[in-house]
Amino acid sequence: MRAIVVPVPGGPEAASLADVPKPVPAAREVLIAVAAAGVSRADAMQRAGRYPPPPGASPILGLEVAGTVAAVGSEVTQWQVGDRVCALCNGGGYAEFVAVATGQILPVPDGWSYAEAATLPENMFTVYDNVFRRARLRTGETFLVHGGTSGIGTTAIMLARAFGARAFATAGGPHKVAACERLGAERAFDYREVDFVEAVLDATGGAGVDVILDPVGGDYVPRDLAALALDGRVAVIGTMRGATAELDLGRLLRRRATVLGSSLRPRTDAQKAAIAGELLAAVWPLLPKRDPVAPVVDSTFPLERAADAHRRLEASEHVGKIVLTV
């Protein structure tokens, strides 16, 4: 089968098309014929040699796909050949076929294309787990996401709105600010022009926000604390601005704040399956309506142009998800 491999880590050109053996599903796995695969920052980091796959995972890039079930393992009863599915992969998604643990698979929502469904798995698993399960965002609370036009950011804005929270976002440039507000953010702040801490406090009458989703890290984390409401929670899921931060513990105590950190890929199949079960119950019934949660596909590239998709991603001009089609 055709797949995107990285013989030597490097820039986008390091991602190249190759013929590799077709995977065989284990007893509790499903083989998916991939129609579309989402492109993520984690993929780019792996390509550059900064995010190695966990033990036992495929070295092929790609953490989320949509397609049809091509075969099932001997212990799989939940899925049948021909089912339209999307899935969170541990790797291997940039390929014609990928084997995925059965608990990490969800149905393609009614009315969604494969390219649209490929935007769901990583974004939904990440946002739902961090914002709603771990940081406990509730109806009527206030929420801020950094990088509001990324795949994670667009999903976070829409889900926060869907569950009755007031959403805010940071973004770079007027067109991205406008995109966040079109998606449902009450206000979006151009981090190139304003201090997001001051902007958040102004927008909330000085109260601050209850939950912040931070994929940036570094020097953003102490500023997150300054923008928090009492009993606020910060979920840090990335280190784009660095892996260390200096915190004012006095402010942490005074705000009664919680700083959370998590990563998704190294978790067990059972842990990921638990998130999938909650998504199926709480989020999937909303998706056929396409409002307030709708697919946001920035652009699509054929599999053989994965390098160009990564260039688009790393230029940071995209709004929503970049997708490879197979």
Question: Average pLDDT in the 79-99 region?
Answer: 98
235-294 pLDDT, tens digit each: 999 999 999 999 999 999 999 999 999 999 999 999 999 999 999 999 999 999 999 999
- Hey, what are 60's tokens? 């092929």
Give the pLDDT band (50/70/90) at residue 158: very high
Q: What is the reported pLDDT for 81?
A: 98
Give the pLDDT band (50/70/90) at residue 97: very high
Q: What is the reported pLDDT for 164?
A: 98
292-312 pLDDT, tens digit each: 999 999 999 999 999 999 999
Do residues 160 and 167 touch, judged by C-beta distance below 8 A? yes
Do residues 2 and 18 touch, judged by C-beta distance below 8 A? yes
In CATH, the architecture of 124-261 is: 3-Layer(aba) Sandwich (3.40)
What is the torsion angle, in degrees rounded to the nearest 10, for the CA atoms of residue 219, residue 319, residue 293 and residue 112? -140
Domain boundaries, the chain: 2-120+265-325, 124-261
181-203 pLDDT, tens digit each: 999 999 999 999 999 999 999 99
Instruction: State how far the Cα of 102 lies from the Cα of 243, in Å rounded to an integer.
Output: 33
Q: What is the reported pLDDT for 51?
A: 92
Question: Average pLDDT in the 156-162 region?
Answer: 98
> Could you write out the DSSP letters of every residue in 98-143?
EEEEGGGEEEPPTT--HHHHTTSHHHHHHHIIIIIIIS---TT-EE
Sort 40 into a burial class: Cβ within 10 Å, 0-12 / 13-18 / 19+: buried
pTM for the complete prediction?
0.96
Instruction: State how far the Cα of 237 lies from the Cα of 232, in Å rounded to an integer.
Output: 16
State the CATH class of domain 2-120+265-325. Answer: alpha beta
Q: What is the reported pLDDT for 120?
A: 98
Question: Average pLDDT in the 129-151 region?
Answer: 98
Average pLDDT, the chain: 97
The fraction of the chain above a pLDDT of 90, given in percent, is: 98
Question: Average pLDDT in the 84-113 region?
Answer: 98
Give the pLDDT band (50/70/90) at residue 213: very high
Question: Average pLDDT in the 121-128 region?
Answer: 98
Give the pLDDT band (50/70/90) at residue 26: very high
